[in-house]
Amino acid sequence: MHMLAPKHEAFYSTKNKNEHNSMSLKSSIFVLAMFMTSACADFDALDGVASARAVSGPYPELVPADALIVAANDGSLTELTASQMAARIAALKRRAARLRARDI
């Protein structure tokens, strides 16, 4: 027997069960309503974050993961590719620093 449960029958009455179910239903409806209204929220801080080029550009092409894994494992890394990646890493680090400095 659970130590915190009351030992009298009044606790287990139909009235208390109905009140509990009613409160549970009201709580569920309230939480659902909060989620639904938050989906309609505007995020002004995010407006204008994407460049016009990014917004007007095409969506990225989706490719199967198997093709990416094969391409990654084929050993085709060259000096040119390595220098391009180093330049891209440096550019991404600069961009990350700019984004961290923004007041959102």
The pLDDT averaged over each successive group of 10 residues in the chain (104 residues) is 54 57 80 81 72 83 84 72 89 95 82
Domain count, the chain: 1
- Taking the C-alpha atoms of residue 15 and residue 9, their distance in angstroms, rounded to an integer, is 12
Asked, for residue 34, whether it belongs to a domain, the answer is: yes
Asked, for residue 25, whether it belongs to a domain, the answer is: yes
pTM score, whole prediction: 0.29
- Taking the C-alpha atoms of residue 85 and residue 69, their distance in angstroms, rounded to an integer, is 18
Asked, for residue 74, whether it belongs to a domain, the answer is: no
Q: 24 lies in which domain range?
A: 14-38
Structure tokens at 49: 């974050």
Asked, for residue 61, whether it belongs to a domain, the answer is: no
Asked, for residue 69, whether it belongs to a domain, the answer is: no
Q: DSSP letter string over the chain?
A: --SSS--SGGGGSHHHHHHHHHHHHHHHHHHHHHHHHHTT---GGGTT-S-HHHHHSPPPPP--HHHHHHHHHS----HHHHHHHHHHHHHHHHHHHHHHHS--
Asked, for residue 63, whether it belongs to a domain, the answer is: no
Contact call for residues 44 and 104 (beta carbons, < 8 A) = no
- Taking the C-alpha atoms of residue 17 and residue 15, their distance in angstroms, rounded to an integer, is 5
